Amino acid sequence: MSRGSFFGQNNESPLITDRVQWAASTMGNFAKITGVGEDLQADPETVLADLLADLMHWCDAQKTNRHLGGTVDFQSALKRAHDHYKHEFAKEG
């Protein structure tokens, strides 16, 4: 799915509420497939930490994926995500 498919018909950027909904869906799906659904309500930070750790493992695994044009550096992606977050918050905040 291309990034453009997230945008409305007028090429409007998604709202923060849209982004929160996507994140909640991701967290819910992760909790469901890993069997920690109850933990998501009781301890969402631990579930988030588990997801982030698994994403780190995924990035490491991409280093051996010869079909990928390059490696995926988690720290670089995390910095980029933080920059996006700051920009989105400043824009809509």
Check if the beta carbon of residue 72 is closer than 8 Å to that of residue 62: yes
pTM over 0.75: yes
* Per-residue pLDDT tens over the stretch 5-35: 555 545 578 999 999 999 999 999 999 999 9
Report the pLDDT value the prediction gives residue 67, as an integer from 0 to 100. 76
SS3 string, 16-74, reads: HHHHHHHHHHHHHHHHHHHCCHHHHHHCHHHHHHHHHHHHHHHHHHHCCCCCCCCCCCH
Check if the beta carbon of residue 44 is closer than 8 Å to that of residue 28: no
